[in-house]
Structure 1
Amino acid sequence: MILAHDLYAETNPAFCTYALAEFLKAFVEVDETGAELPLAYLALPIALSEDLAGSFEGTNKKTGLLEWLERTPQMSVGLAQRVNASLEIVTPAVRYGCFADVLVLGADGRMRPGAKAVKPTAITKLDSISAGAIRRAGRLGTWFAMAGSTRNIFGILGLTV
């Protein structure tokens, strides 16, 4: 039996909000001030990219962004195009997340987890590809928070603000 992977399901605002919620949950464990909004536009396309999934194998929270990039030099190839192509996915996810009170976007431009948390058991009901994207978003949340400022993260990834 051949199973088809539903790409639309993985790019709908609710699923992407779930990934961003996982990203923010991990981020605020390291930096309680929250993540600046532009980081969502980096984290989500990287986390959702199945072609980068293998590069997360053998990593953990302590690996860090720099070490991961050292192991994955191909990651920065086409990153700007990947980020630009994902604008129509990230923006609705942020809007939906704020509307659903899963995410909070403060006046300071920082995102934090909202009052409504996503149930941790929900990930167990996802297929392996979708569950992997959620786990990668969490890993990126930790790494981005440990890496410092948004400008620093953009620079590490070879992007300009």
Structure 2
Amino acid sequence: MKSWNMRTHEVAFLLNPAFCGRVLYSTIKTYNDKTCRAFPFPLIYLILPLVLHKETRININSRTQLQLWIQRYPQLLIDFPQRARELVPITNESVEFLLQTGKVLLTPNGELEISPASKTLSKTKFVDAEISECLKKGEHIAKWFATAGKVETIYIELGVRP
């Protein structure tokens, strides 16, 4: 990972840990609320490649099961493994940011959950239409993951190897 002063302005502004962490937080919170379980850590690496890719984000809809969505939009997953691999450092930075700020906790089982001691992040404060869409699609992804089965199954369906 390049140091901040070596990153292009676009990468520094668009892929900063606060923004990406906010998307991850939204997904983790929705998953925790829907399932009453902690978020499986390996799934954290699939969120940003789905949400940040605009064409993919536009087509995400939790009313359609993940497996059916994959069958309808296979073209969106052509470069998904590469996107996921490239966003691993950004995801790591974002998770680290969330852990350091106390917004999420790492459970003894290595899963993520929203910290009960932290205030819930606003869905509307400092948010424009595109950010709002990213947060909403993160929630859709949480609903997919909540009903899609095992972590391994989700990885296989998306064509990614851990």
Whether 2:39 is the aligned partner of 1:38: answer no
The DSSP-based 3-state class of the residue aligned with 1:67 is helix
The DSSP-based 3-state class of the residue aligned with 2:113 is strand
Question: TM-score when scaled to structure 2?
Answer: 0.85
Compared CA separation, residues 148 and 26, structure 1 to 2 (3 A): same
Deviation, 1:100, is 0.8
- C-alpha distance in 2, partners of 1:149/1:32? 16
Q: Which 5+ residue runs of structure 2 have no aligned equivalent?
A: 1-9
In 2, are the aligned partners of 1:50 and 1:129 still within 8 Å (CA)?
A: no
In the alignment, what sits opposite 1:3? none
In 1, are the aligned partners of 2:31 and 2:37 still within 8 Å (CA)?
A: no
In 2, are the aligned partners of 1:30 and 1:146 still within 8 Å (CA)?
A: no
Whether 2:13 is the aligned partner of 1:9: answer yes
- C-alpha distance in 2, partners of 1:121/1:129? 12
Q: What is the total number of aligned residue pairs between the two structures? A: 152
In the alignment, what sits opposite 1:149? 150
Q: Deviation per CA, 1:71-106, whole angstroms, max 9, x where unpaired? A: 211122111110110012100100010111111111
Counterpart mapping for 1:85-124 below 5 A = 85-115=86-116, 116=118, 117-122=120-125
- C-alpha distance in 2, partners of 1:7/1:133? 17
Q: Which 5+ residue runs of structure 1 have no aligned equivalent?
A: 1-5
Counterpart mapping for 1:44-55 below 5 A = 44-55=48-59
Let me know the Cα RMSD of the aligned residues: 1.8
In 1, are the aligned partners of 2:27 and 2:142 still within 8 Å (CA)?
A: yes
Question: TM-score when scaled to structure 1?
Answer: 0.85
In the alignment, what sits opposite 2:66? 65
The DSSP-based 3-state class of the residue aligned with 1:83 is helix
Deviation, 1:29, is 2.6
